[in-house]
């Protein structure tokens, strides 16, 4: 079992889940990370990618926009989401 405050472990597990097309568990892990550190932009990108794969457009855009609001440029955010999505 992963410590729910271990951000790196949760992010790594979410990336593995995303690569295995297990999007709901990836979203759950990123929700935990947001609870611990809501300022980490990559969290929102991983969650956006999972929402996109599930056809959840509004949630995808909300997470993408939140990553941008945290200082990540829009082009960089979209590029990162593309690399997350293409990892599987």
Tell me whether residue 11 is in a domain.
yes
Q: Are the C-beta atoms of 40 and 28 separated by less than 8 Å?
A: no
Nearest to 66 by CA among 49, 87, 41: 41
Residues 25-53 pLDDT 10s: 999 999 999 999 999 999 999 999 999 99
- Is the residue at 67 inside a domain? yes
Q: Do the domain assignments include residue 2? A: no
Question: Rounded to an integer, what distance in angstroms lies between the CA atom of residue 88 and that of residue 78?
Answer: 17
Residue-range definition of the domain harbouring residue 33: 7-85
Predicted pLDDT at 87? 57
Nearest to 68 by CA among 41, 31, 40: 41
CATH of the domain at 38: 1.25.40.10
Residue 12 within a domain: yes
The 10s digit of each residue's pLDDT in 60-82 is 999 999 998 998 777 677 777 77
Rounded CA-CA distance 53/30 in Å is: 15
């Amino acid at each position: 079992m992963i410590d729910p405050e271990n951000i790196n472990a949760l992010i790594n597990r979410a990336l593995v889940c995303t690569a295995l097309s297990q999007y709901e568990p990836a979203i759950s892990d990123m929700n935990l990370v947001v609870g611990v550190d809501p300022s980490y932009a990559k969290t929102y990108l991983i969650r956006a990618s999972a929402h996109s794969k599930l056809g959840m457009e509004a949630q995808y855009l909300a997470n993408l926009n939140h990553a941008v609001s945290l200082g990540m440029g829009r082009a960089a955010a979209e590029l990162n989401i593309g690399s997350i999505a293409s990892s599987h």
